[in-house]
Structure 1
């Protein structure tokens, strides 16, 4: 940074394109990627253990939804702030400090004594962990020369796609073997490795306290209110019947006011804390929007499939994890191949292949019945794993192509914020759709399964006779037969609703292939504005 550069126009130092990447730099980048993986993993890791957590904390299912909402709400708020905070404290000090606080908050989550304490600690955990996601992308873009960024971006893409699929798997295993607090305590292993890698891989930087005094605090307040309220609206809307609830209407209003205020103040300032004008760049806008839609499908599939396996197939958390992991593990072998291709092949082609495979896997899950389990789901999970690495890697390349060094922290923050918002929107849409479509299919099936139907009456007679043969009173046997038919109708209506959800995701992913080609041609990430396409 030159001596004439003001603190508010801090520009990250880029790696020398001609310099060999030393082991120390790889340590720092690997540590940053480990932090991003850990932060994304913690979004999903409580899902498979939620029943055990709620039992210990004496909370209902509806109350327990705030455990995830609190984390997501804090995480989405801190992501746009990371560029500013890294400039204030220095990259090394900020990453080490926020990781240390994340580990403390994780420990407090494992020791929570009631629901209220768990929600507060999860919010603190999200606020400290959320910063690690964009910081990892910034490290890749600033510390690696252009020739190595394809590898770095591939590993970053892996954190975005692998962590959501392995979260339920790891959470299920740890909860069953060591109890649910272990899903929080396990963070100490990657957390300490991260601190060690950053301390040894990055140089200390001067503090830049004047930035705090000159920061756009009005814009930051609007952003926090807008994004926080939007996350609460999306996460809690379905359980509270959306706009029929005063609570939801209030947060919808706050979200609109906050987001409009944030955009307005950012456009009026010459040096906003995050540069929203990046959305006006065609490549960045297309990449961010597709990242949001991919986030919908990525988190949506990780939301629907465990629900189906638990509710319809009756799987334990550990069994669910054994199915879900097949959408993750093959990515470890595909990602190096995707990285090598990304610098040689038009990324629009690679991303189209990824979207097509991901959409095909959702299509394969769109025709399930109540007997579908591990064996039948294995193929679709592997197809999903083959497609996902091509998507996030190439979208990251599109988003960062031609971005100047000064805007790299903003681009990283906005790209990851948009992707996470897409995940929240996708889960909210699918949860609402699941409820509505289940009611619809239940009503349609109910029109056919009536006492006037010969097939229904024959099945009722068979069930009744079976219960009587087992020694049950005839009147009670008839009631039990009716209950069995009712459960079958409900089960089938849920299966059909799950199928509708997967078919919707498939349609959206296939549609995205067409949208993708509005972006300009790109290959490997460019640095410092060079190589923009």
Structure 2
């Protein structure tokens, strides 16, 4: 029976359809895993390639820039090459690029290979999302969205743990070797699950090349600006100002081009649909929450508590593992409870966990984070699956490519903007709090004088006591800055909660 809610009828999925969807989701999982898995091994890779910290940051940045550029291009390239040929090509490229990364002999070669890996991995993410939209009818789609949700939550959660364990026990090369077996399975699954269809080379003549160029320049410059802005001190750097200006002009031209022609690269008019617009805005806040938490928490545990990569991974695992149990239950809940109620509850739990994380003190370490991590783990599955359905339920299958590109790129941009914002908050607020605390550590303050006397007696030197006291004051200022960072994440998640409250309820059949 045709689903009257859908502009185009989607038949029930066959076994081949499910194998194709699962294979594409496996690829998206590996692509997102590769963003986080390298962070815990970055020092080892920098040492092996004789790179400084600033130079080594491009190992991550190059992947993210390539990924964010390819996401809007994925739908068009899939039409030109045919979905099967496109999916298999990027799967093979992902495996080859991973092997090349493990054999990199210099920083420059590593950056080139990471760009290739980012192009392939970035294309796998929207392709998997669009397969869920085009292969699954509305009544089954929540199951597909639940599987896709694992890529967005579980992969970042276990990435640091796997990266740290592999690097400590086998060497950093193994963080790239582990892509080979899943990549081979993914390729075989896509070859079996997707139908053969001829390429449509005529689309190359009709391509929106002006849109491609302005989009690539704009998003590439914006991503580099967000990644490097904190290190370059933002508007104090002419380099960042130039990049930001190019990004602004290019993206403005891109928007004008997309709205003024029919053969657009991405259909921006989808944002006129209320639920898609509000769902996409909520997705930006979700990106801040997902990527911001995985950024701030490891830095806090390393800088304040002295944790190594493996210990940090063990704390973050508490965010990932419970979700594997909860995500399969969400589609069942959606049969009985409106998706926006479930999504709002998830954002509330996620925001509450982030707000509670802003209660740090020198003794607040891994054990104290377990309850908070479980609270976040309960919230995230309740967000990801319903949010995808709320945003895309009324999108026709013909627009699945544009919807997938916009939806995924906004979450990635939310994560990039969130990390840039949080890095700035940590530095600026730490300096602010240090100035306030230092103003109270004076000889005229009895408490400060007493503390300095006790430290002098214990250390046997006034100079050593002063150095220790200075370190304690700086640490306290940093802890207060981390509190502000977690509160900022909670505020962004609160913004997403408001967006979900303002969405229209879906008809019962769409759940």
Q: Tell me the TM-score normalized by structure 2.
A: 0.96
Give the match's secondary structure for 2:336.
coil
1:188 to 180, 195, 203: 180
Matches within 5 A, 1:134-149: 134-149=126-141
Separation in 2, partners of 1:152, 1:100: 24
1:352-372 superposed Cα distances (whole Å, 9 cap, x missing partner) = 100010011111211011111
Corresponding residue number in structure 2 for 1:506: 490
1:418-476 superposed Cα distances (whole Å, 9 cap, x missing partner) = 110100000000001111000011111101122332222222222222233xxxxxxxx
**Residues 149 and 525 of structure 1 are in contact (CA less than 8 Å); yes or no, is this contact kept in structure 2?**
no
Give the match's secondary structure for 1:239.
coil
**Residues 397 and 525 of structure 1 are in contact (CA less than 8 Å); yes or no, is this contact kept in structure 2?**
no
Cα distance change, pair 202–101 in 1 and its aligned pair in 2 (3 A): same
**Residues 288 and 492 of structure 2 are in contact (CA less than 8 Å); yes or no, is this contact kept in structure 1?**
no
Matches within 5 A, 1:119-518: 119-468=111-460, 477-518=461-502
State the shift of 1:114 in Å: 2.0
Separation in 2, partners of 1:366, 1:104: 42
State the shift of 1:399 in Å: 1.7
Separation in 1, partners of 2:9, 2:234: 47
Separation in 1, partners of 2:75, 2:492: 32
Corresponding residue number in structure 2 for 1:59: 51
**Residues 330 and 382 of structure 1 are in contact (CA less than 8 Å); yes or no, is this contact kept in structure 2?**
yes
Unaligned runs of 5+ in 1: 1-11, 469-476
Give the match's secondary structure for 1:199.
helix
1:183-233 superposed Cα distances (whole Å, 9 cap, x missing partner) = 111111211111111111111111111111210101100000111111111
State the shift of 1:304 in Å: 0.2
1:65-124 superposed Cα distances (whole Å, 9 cap, x missing partner) = 222111111101100001100001111111111011111111121222222222222112
1:133-153 superposed Cα distances (whole Å, 9 cap, x missing partner) = 011111111122332111001
State the shift of 1:522 in Å: 2.3
Separation in 2, partners of 1:511, 1:101: 38
Corresponding residue number in structure 2 for 1:4: none
* Larger displacement relative to structure 2 (21-30 or 191-200): 21-30
State the shift of 1:63 in Å: 2.0
Separation in 1, partners of 2:302, 2:316: 12
Give the match's secondary structure for 1:396.
helix
Separation in 2, partners of 1:264, 1:511: 28
State the shift of 1:29 in Å: 0.9
Matches within 5 A, 1:5-20: 15-16=10-11, 19=12
Give the match's secondary structure for 1:328.
helix
* Larger displacement relative to structure 2 (290-299 or 24-33): 24-33
Cα distance change, pair 405–22 in 1 and its aligned pair in 2 (3 A): closer
Give the match's secondary structure for 2:32.
helix
* Larger displacement relative to structure 2 (234-243 or 271-280): 271-280
Aligned pair count reads 505
Separation in 1, partners of 2:508, 2:52: 48
Separation in 1, partners of 2:397, 2:229: 39
1:27-71 superposed Cα distances (whole Å, 9 cap, x missing partner) = 111111111111111111111111212122222222222221111
* Larger displacement relative to structure 2 (101-110 or 235-244): 101-110
**Residues 295 and 423 of structure 1 are in contact (CA less than 8 Å); yes or no, is this contact kept in structure 2?**
yes
Unaligned runs of 5+ in 2: 1-6
Separation in 2, partners of 1:158, 1:80: 22
State the shift of 1:240 in Å: 0.4
CA RMSD, 1 decimal: 1.6
Separation in 2, partners of 1:14, 1:177: 51
Separation in 2, partners of 1:400, 1:343: 17
Give the match's secondary structure for 2:443.
coil
Corresponding residue number in structure 2 for 1:22: 14
Separation in 2, partners of 1:487, 1:525: 60
Separation in 1, partners of 2:280, 2:36: 22
State the shift of 1:259 in Å: 0.4
Separation in 2, partners of 1:48, 1:223: 31
1:108 aligns with 2:112: no
**Residues 282 and 497 of structure 2 are in contact (CA less than 8 Å); yes or no, is this contact kept in structure 1?**
no
Cα distance change, pair 524–36 in 1 and its aligned pair in 2 (3 A): farther
Give the match's secondary structure for 1:146.
coil
Cα distance change, pair 14–186 in 1 and its aligned pair in 2 (3 A): farther
Give the match's secondary structure for 1:106.
helix
Separation in 2, partners of 1:59, 1:524: 56
Cα distance change, pair 524–124 in 1 and its aligned pair in 2 (3 A): farther
State the shift of 1:511 in Å: 3.4
1:362-388 superposed Cα distances (whole Å, 9 cap, x missing partner) = 112110111112210100000000000
Cα distance change, pair 414–162 in 1 and its aligned pair in 2 (3 A): same
**Residues 301 and 366 of structure 2 are in contact (CA less than 8 Å); yes or no, is this contact kept in structure 1?**
no
Separation in 1, partners of 2:57, 2:386: 33
